[in-house]
Structure 1
Amino acid sequence: MSNTPCSANPFTPISTCIEQVDIKGQYIQLAAPIQLSGQLNIVELLAQYPINEESEQAPIQIGIDEAGRGPLLGSVNVAAAILPATWSGLIEDAPLKGTPLSILTDSKQLSEKKRDILYPLVQQYAVGHIVADIPAAVIDQINILQATMLGMRLCTEVLLEIIAKHFNTSVERQFEVLIDGNRCPDLDYASLDKLGIKESVIDCQAWVKGDARHTSIAAASILAKVSRDKTMYALDAQYPEYGIAKHKGYPTRAHMEAIETYGVLTAHRRSFAPVRKALENVAHTESGNR
């Protein structure tokens, strides 16, 4: 993985551009940069997960979720969140009761108004959080599944890299990486090992509907969903005729009619069948008019 800092401080806040990456042993130049942004509070992390060589260490739980796999337009956003130790756990056990995040659950079960309320609260109270914005060009380059897995991998690795620089790696801290879905990303364990984080201390778990089960995944779901919606509203302001604020890039009738009337945008995912078909129809019409 090759990255370049987008700001002078690569720790807190986190602001990183990924332009090249190793995917399954193949080192590739990405079609467009992946932007990662967030924050990690090292002081709070050390306070919440203190190093105690005489007792078993509480695992640092990293929840990960995505938003935007299905739309025809825009980025897929992947987010990771580390909550305070006592706030991390199964939602059904109510570890968030009495906290500012007490209404937190799967973002899809919350209204947009509640998600917008929770978004800054998650950013404020999470020990660490990060969002990866994987643009349409990368989705078209490596497919939506691999783009999503890459986002999950990058969020995990960037957080672990920063943690490794500030924690005593001679004490083998345990990490629980909780993924919403049915598979875990392929982490670059060789690079993590060089930082002092061995594969054996990383327990990656895939949870179907995990955003309704684990508080840390639910927190990540809020970050991913709201951050993606923000990019959709920005595109809507730029291209109001497409009605993006309403359909958020999903293949609704209104969206398909807008594509037919106004054409395919740069932000559209050309590898997705409806967009590909629209482009083919345009090419066929143009060839017929020659």
Structure 2
Amino acid sequence: MTGKIAKPQLAPKRTLPKSDRAFPTTALEVLLSQSVGGPVCGVDEAGRGPWAGPVSAAAVILNPDDLPEGIDDSKALTEKRRFELEPRIKASAIAWGVGFASVEEIEELNILHATGLAMCRAIEALGVEPKAALVDGNYRFKLPCDVKTVVGGDGLSLSIAAASILAKTARDRLMIELDAQYPGYGFASHKGYNAPIHQAALKAMGPCPAHRPSWAPIRALLEG
């Protein structure tokens, strides 16, 4: 009797459609709120990497009975969608706050500590004292309440995602204002990040007061 061993067949790779990916929920907020016995805010920042402009942060305490549809990590949304969601988040949230740290404060403190300062200002602007904060990332900032860090939090926690939207829209709006104040750099389009038109403008005109002098490309121009 003869025979052969059939090799196992590998299942074809399956790519999940975008609609099947996990979206942020309030599960982390519920667990932490039960643990600390009080309100929990989500906190996130925007603008740590650009060559110009301040860093911003937002804090949001969501109302579990009034959650706007469509809240997601700000990076997964278009600029138009972020600005559409901004007033809905503000209108439905129990409390929200936005804080900034200026270019001068970034230079004095460094970007990490300036980010923490912006977060403190955002929490203080809530008008409600949270018992704890869910903060995106793995760095434990010193904030005026207990802190729980969440890596990838803007894709897991609904309140962090909401904060990421408010931080981004607030900073984008300010960069549009800086574009009018310092025309020619294209701040309204690239928001201070590295972009070909930004590089070209810097070479043609040099830095302006909105630029961060310690950032390597800006420092090189200033020293040159």
Q: TM-score interval w.r.t. the shorter chain?
A: 0.7 to 0.9
Cα-to-partner distance string for 1:185-235 (whole Å, 9 max, x where unaligned): 1135xxxxxxxxxxxxx5411111211111111111111000000011111
1:271 CA displacement: 1.1
Contact 2:119-2:143 within 8 A present in 1 as well: no
TM-score by length of structure 1 reads 0.61
> Does residue 1:66 correspond to 2:22, yes or no?
no
Aligned to 2:199: 256
Corresponding residue for 2:114?
147
2-structure distance, mates of 1:187, 1:243: 34
The answer to whether structure 1 residue 84 and structure 2 residue 63 are counterparts is yes
Distance 2:35 2:211 in 1: 49
Q: Are residue 233 (structure 1) and residue 187 (structure 2) matched?
A: no
Q: Go from structure 1 to structure 2 and tell me whether the alpha carbon gap of 1:135 and 1:57 turns closer, same or farther (over 3 Å shift).
A: closer
Runs of 4 or more consecutive aligned structure 1 residues displaced over 6 Å after TM superposition: none
Mapping 1:57-206, distance limit 5 Å: 59-86=38-65, 96=67, 101-157=68-124, 159=126, 162-163=127-128, 175-187=131-143, 202-206=145-149
- Note the residue ranges of structure 1 that are not aligned, 5 or more in a row: 1-54, 88-95, 165-173, 189-201, 282-290
Q: Which runs of 5+ in 2 are unaligned?
A: 1-33
SS at match of 2:51: coil
Q: State the distance in 2 between where 1:216 and 1:130 align.
A: 12
State the distance in 2 between where 1:110 and 1:67 align.
14
CA distance in 2, matches of 1:110, 1:56: 32
Q: Is 2:58–2:123's contact at 8 Å kept on the other side of the alignment?
A: no
TM-score where L is the length of structure 2: 0.79
Higher percent of residues as strand: 1
Within 1, Cα distance between the matches of 2:119 and 2:181?
Answer: 29
Q: Report the structure number with the largest CA radius of gyration.
A: 2
Percent identity among equivalent residues?
A: 43
Aligned equivalents of 1:239, 1:117: Cα separation in 2: 27
Q: How many pairs are equivalent?
A: 191
Secondary structure in 1 matching 2:184:
helix
